[in-house]
Amino acid sequence: MHGTSLRIAAALIALAVAPLALDGAAGSAAFAAGNCEPGDKVDNSTATDAKKKIEAAGYSQVRDLKKGCDNVWHAKAVKDGAPANLALGPDGQVRRETD
């Protein structure tokens, strides 16, 4: 019974922290959800930082920003009227992803 209570409490904490992580304030959503390995070094870049870099590369309507354990931000955006799936690497390069 005690183990079940601990698992439920841990799940509730993870759910409470996940919205903060999506905004970048607490690291990555993947890290908060427990999808990263203990040795992964998640940097402190934020969704706001990523959006600014993507917009500086000529994209607009940036949305659905998600960060992986590899510190790559994934997003959807529009450039020249065409929708695109993007990856922003830790090197600052914005690249199109294939569907």
Provide the residue-wise pLDDT of the chain in tens; the chain has 99 residues. Answer: 456 655 555 555 544 444 433 333 334 444 444 567 777 777 888 999 999 999 999 999 999 999 988 899 999 999 999 999 999 999 999 999 985
**Closest listed residue to residue 22, CA positions, set 52, 64, 72:** 64
Closest CA to 28 of 74, 59, 60: 74
Reported as half-sphere exposure (CB side, CA atoms, 13 A), residue 24 has a value of: 17
Could you tell me if residue 22 is left (phi over 0), alpha (psi between -120 and 50 degrees) or otherwise beta?
alpha
pTM: predicted TM-score of the whole model, two decimal places: 0.61
Q: How far apart are the C-alpha atoms of 98 and 14, rounded to whole Å?
A: 31
